Amino acid sequence: MAIKLPDVGHSSFKVVSEGIKYCGDIRTAYTEKKWWRLIALVILMSVMIATGFLVKPLFIAFFAHWFIGTWGFSLPVSKFVATGVAMLITTQVGKFLKYWVLKINK
């Protein structure tokens, strides 16, 4: 059974805003001349933008199908819950990685 989920498509605005979140830290790392932190932040920003384009839609599709098949949720409820779960996972992983990147002192 194929289900078309319009929420699975990425939003370019959300992905761009994900990249903008790191601009202040990148500017600070550049002015303080902490080059390793700057490189790590640029890589992290790139990974989080790629996550917004690729991984988050896959999480939403997976969890929506899982909630429908396993727990018998209706389609609107499963889309809502799957979007929240995918956002929670990607946000927490991003915060965890950013915490460790900001601990770099070089």
Q: Which amino acid is at 106?
A: K
Residue 12 has which token pair? 């370019």
What residues contact 30, with CB distance under 8 A and at least 6 apart?
Answer: 38
Residue 3 lies in a domain: no
Within a domain: residue 7? no
Range of the structural domain that residue 45 is part of: 12-102
- Residue 68: inside a domain: yes
The total of structural domains in the chain comes to 1
Between CA 8 and CA 97 the distance in angstroms is 24
Does a structural domain hold residue 83?
A: yes
Is residue 2 domain-resident? no
pLDDT in tens, the chain (106 residues): 455 555 555 566 777 777 788 888 899 999 999 999 999 999 999 988 888 888 888 888 888 888 888 888 888 888 888 888 888 888 899 899 999 998 988 8
Q: Domain for residue 4, yes or no? A: no
Q: Does a structural domain hold residue 46? A: yes
pTM of the model: 0.75
Tokens representing residue 20 in the block: 């903008």
**Domain for residue 59, yes or no?**
yes
Contact indicator for 18, 48 with CB cutoff of 8 Å: yes
